[in-house]
Amino acid sequence: MKKFFALLASSAFLVSCGTDTNNTVEAVDTMSVADTSSELPEPYATESSKKFSKALGWSDGKTPIAPKGFVVQKFADKLENPRWLYVLPNGDVLVAEAGTKGAIKAAAAFVSGNSKSRLSSGSADRITLFRDTNKDGIPDVRDVFLEGLNQPLGMVLVDNTFYVANTDGVVAFPYTKGQTTITSAGKKITDLPANGYNNHWTRNIIADHDGSHLYITVGSASNVAENGIEEEFMRANILVMNVDGSDKRIYAAGLRNPVGAAFNPYDKTLWTVVNERDELGDELVPDYLTSIQKNGFYGWPYSYWGQHLDPRMKGEGKDLVKRAIVPDVNLGAHTASLGLAFYNQTTFPVKYHNGAFIGQHGSWNKSTFSGYKVVFVPFENGKPSGPPEDFLTGFIANADEVYGRPVGVVVLPDGSILVADDSANTIWKISIAK
């Protein structure tokens, strides 16, 4: 145990147990570490490729494609990089508008052939509110809910406090039911690491079911710790803390870039989707959907998909690798699976009930496009009951161009879902055809 803790500490994965703050570590139950016999190709079986997509936008009347029996319509447009969605108890829809800042995004815009506003190197840094006062399913009120933020993504309301996860910390604001704009000053209740890899700036935040704790996703500062493990302190983790920001600690580690996070409505288990590492070939490493075990370790940067060793780590982290948990669902390599929403309504057909919708933003490190769609994973009795299946497609225009890129997904009280398309600055609504 001492050896395990020492390795965790040196790797900046200080996983603490429960509410204990003395950095003691519990080993993961070995019975929960799944088999690693998944058929994956060897590292470098194919050459690592770069293929950025050029975003065209959607022409008038053109929409993504949903399965038969569903209708797709534009919920809102003319946004600026809408990434994430949240629904307030009164039905108001909040959209976090933010993007990757600086040279990385500007370079991607140049490579893709699009240097216009869709891929600007700035960030709107605001949250926009939409309200449907006519009750016709399409909002007629639009207002700036919050602005002057710092690359916001996750949002959650607990009692009368509205929390925003900026890239560098969590800010709490007083909230009154029905208000369309927050003008009062917020209070930063905790810092979050904002160094390193600017592509992993997103910080999601959700609350547990009794509203006593907040869970925050923080991606790595690099692809595979190439800048040194010391740069990864408090990163590649899901953090947990009290709602006042106290007792912040690591809940689960070794998650390269977890973004979407949600509690399964069936049994209240925490799940997340994770973007895995790049530059090992077209089919490595699979992004995944997985349940999260308290104090669990999921491999990054030393291994992937359980005990598959990353050759770039040269055998480091052997004790951690032994404990690496195999994820639940393979979502495909380089799909950039980001959004996650469990379907907690009953409007859609029964097959969708309690299943998971996942927004796949799309590849750049693969010779042909992967992702660029919303997939659905069916669940039964709280567990995945089948492979991912396409739900919202039609984003890919041809071998080099796409119409848009889906990201965040949320379920509305009427049982329809919304999908944020950040490159087309649009929110799509998918509902049952009448």
How far is the CA of 178 from the CAs of 133, 245, 338, 408, in angstroms?
Answer: 12, 26, 29, 23
Peptide bond into 388 cis (omega under 30): no
Structure-block tokens of residue 194: 């904002």
Instruction: State pTM to two decimals.
Output: 0.89
Residue 29 pLDDT greater than 50, yes or no: no
Average pLDDT of the segment spanning 154-159: 98
Nearest to 288 by CA among 302, 305, 301: 305
Percent of the chain with pLDDT over 90: 83
| Domains of the chain: total | 1
How far is the CA of 294 from the CAs of 6, 27, 134, 147, 254, in angstroms?
Answer: 19, 10, 44, 35, 12
Residue spans of alpha helices (H) in 41-130? 103-112
Comparing 183-197, 328-342, 394-408, the range with the smallest average pLDDT is: 183-197
Residue 51 sits in a domain of what CATH number? 2.120.10.30
pLDDT, one tens digit per residue, over 167-178 is 999 999 999 999
Domain range for 342 is 2-432
* Spatial contact of 74 and 55, defined as CB atoms under 8 Å apart: no
* Res 193: pLDDT: 94
Average pLDDT of the segment spanning 87-102: 93
Any residues with CB less than 8 A from the CB of 434 and at least 6 apart, and which?
71
Residue 36 pLDDT greater than 80, yes or no: no
Percent of the chain with pLDDT over 70: 86
Structure-block tokens of residue 421: 């398309």
* Spatial contact of 100 and 83, defined as CB atoms under 8 Å apart: no
Angle at 73 between CA 69 and CA 74, to 5 degrees: 160
* Spatial contact of 393 and 376, defined as CB atoms under 8 Å apart: no
d(CA 162, CA 248): 18
Structure-block tokens of residue 225: 């710790």
User: Looking up tokens 């992967």, which residue turns up?
Assistant: 370
More reliable by pLDDT, 42 or 119 = 42
